[in-house]
Amino acid sequence: MAKKIAVLVGSLRKESVNRKLALELQRLASDGLELEIVEIGNLQHYNQDFDANPPQEWVSFREKIKCSDGVLFVSPEYNRTIPGVLKNAIDVGSRPYGQGVWAGKPGGVMTSSPSGIGGAIANHHIRQALVFIDVPVMQQPEAYIADAFGIWNEDGTAVAETEKFLKSWIDAYESWVNKF
Ligand SMILES: Cc1cc2nc3c(=O)[nH]c(=O)nc-3n(C[C@H](O)[C@H](O)[C@H](O)COP(=O)(O)O)c2cc1C
């Protein structure tokens, strides 16, 4: 049976290149993985006061992560760190204390940017949070997608060189998931 992978996209905008990359990973993944983008834009800001009576959106989000066999983070870099919306989702899934939903889910991190360094700093800031929530992250290959506006064919698919990399990356991630 295919492994269910929750994909979190760190950008909410309609034309997000990170969402496009997530959709490409979905398209290129083998039958062994079923990628689902889990929306995070509707999650209220994390507030510990709500732990006793959490908003329905938090409950559904936590349930989706709980039911997944792995988690992928595909994100831009905002001001050299993690976009707030993605950090909020990580925080929501990490609480109440002792009941976090992330631990042990094999993870992967991809960042992209129109600039040359492909969101590398955000990539490592995401990895830093994953240490504490106990997500074992695929170390190699790393994925920093540079020139993120220039890697698309007219039909919305990635150009051949990028597609080849995305395919090799998602296949490596599948091997990583299968180790768990
Ligand atoms: C608030 C904000 C901060 C940004 N900071 C960075 C940054 O630190 N590094 C970077 O490479 N790009 C930065 N950018 C540019 C983004 O990489 C670019 O807008 C990208 O398209 C966002 O990803 P998306 O297309 O998935 O929304 C920033 C954009 C915004 C809106």
Per-residue pLDDT, 33: 98
| Residue 135 CB neighbour total at 10 angstroms | 24
Residue spans of the domains in the chain: they are 3-178
Per-residue pLDDT, 66: 98
Per-residue pLDDT, 151: 97
Ligand 1 neighbourhood includes 38 CB (under 6 angstroms): no
Largest distance between two CA atoms of the chain: 50
Ligand 1 neighbourhood includes 174 CB (under 6 angstroms): no
CA distances (Å), 174 to each of 29, 62, 110, 144, in order?
Answer: 8, 23, 14, 18
Superfamily the domain 3-178 falls into = Flavodoxin domain (3.40.50.360)
How far apart are the CA of 37 and the centre of ligand 1, in A? 20
Ligand 1 neighbourhood includes 50 CB (under 6 angstroms): no
Per-residue pLDDT, 180: 94
- Radius of gyration in angstroms for the set of CA atoms belonging to the chain, rounded to a whole number: 16
Per residue of the chain (180 residues), what is the pLDDT tens digit? 899 999 999 999 999 999 999 999 999 999 999 999 999 999 999 999 999 999 999 999 999 999 999 999 999 999 999 999 999 999 999 999 999 999 999 999 999 999 999 999 999 999 999 999 999 999 999 999 999 999 999 999 999 999 999 999 999 999 999 999
